[in-house]
Amino acid sequence: MSDDLVRWRMDKTALSAGKVGDDAETRAFWRRQTPRARLEALEFMRQVMYGYDPAADRLQRVLTVAKLERR
């Protein structure tokens, strides 16, 4: 999917705000799509907005060191 990101760039100046369910035609289009197609579209939009970083695909481990208090 990263090849798609190279070809497609988002013009953030051409956006307008609105509710997801505003357009009946758009709603009908997404209802016709398979769950897999919906998830692929969602992932594509996430990558366009936040970038694609293969190293970030894995969960990061968090290490916390706590010192014990001696009484």
What is the count of structural domains for the chain?
A: 1
The answer to whether residue 66 is domain-embedded is: no
pLDDT at residue number 7: 65
The span from the CA of 5 to the CA of 2, in Å, is 5
Full residue range of the structural domain in which residue 23 is found: 2-57
The answer to whether residue 68 is domain-embedded is: no
**Phi, psi for residue 54 in degrees, rounded to 5:** -60, -30
The answer to whether residue 42 is domain-embedded is: yes
- At 9-58, the pLDDT tens digits run 667 777 777 666 568 888 888 899 999 999 999 988 888 887 776 666 66
Is 64's pLDDT higher than 60? yes
